[in-house]
């Protein structure tokens, strides 16, 4: 278990999520559960406590790189956020790095792995009008990659 071997480099877990979808519900409960088990986590709202003048994107990338694993909470609006998609690309890079050791765990929140590409099509089409082909293509590859990893599905309430 993670709490048995402290991570001297950083946090045990980086949590990537779309704040407007899950910050005050699923993500806050997940962080509380991890804390109770002695597992340290980092999420984008922790970046608010960084020293003034520090670049947020760099700090978040560093937090991902220094974490043992990343939990990616894929919700309906995840791909509407370029920040979330950039985090996901960094997670993918860390997992495929020759140094190895970084693990990604997807949580499909109110959607199934099969829905990922269709669910995010509209958001990605919108991004294609604003960002370079290379950047959007990286996001598409990262979404396909994470959708192919065995994770947990949190179904919508019936």
* Catalytic residue list: 87
Sign of CA dihedral 122, 123, 127, 133: negative
For the chain, what percentages of helix, strand and coil (3-state, to nearest 5) are there? 55, 15, 30
β-strand pairing of 13-16 with 69-74: parallel
The C-alpha atoms of residue 102 and residue 97 are separated, in whole angstroms, by: 8
What string of DSSP letters covers 78-92? GGG-HHHHHHHHHHH
Pairing of strands 152-154, 69-74: unpaired
17, 46 contact by CB (below 8 A): no
């Amino acid at each position: 278990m993670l709490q048995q071997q402290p991570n001297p480099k950083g946090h045990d877990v980086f949590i990537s999520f779309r704040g407007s979808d899950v910050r005050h519900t699923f993500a806050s409960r997940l962080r509380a559960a991890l804390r109770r088990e002695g597992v340290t986590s980092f999420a984008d709202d922790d970046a608010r406590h960084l020293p003034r003048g520090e670049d947020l994107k760099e700090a978040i990338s560093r937090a991902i790189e220094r974490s043992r694993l990343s939990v990616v909470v894929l919700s309906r609006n995840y791909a509407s956020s370029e920040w979330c998609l950039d985090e996901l690309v960094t997670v993918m890079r860390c997992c495929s790095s020759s140094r190895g050791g970084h693990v990604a765990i997807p949580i499909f929140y109110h959607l199934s792995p099969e829905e990922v590409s269709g669910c995010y099509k509209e958001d990605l089409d919108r991004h294609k009008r604003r960002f370079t082909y290379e950047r959007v293509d990286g996001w598409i590859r990262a979404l396909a990659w994470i959708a192919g990893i065995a994770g947990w599905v949190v179904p919508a309430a019936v």
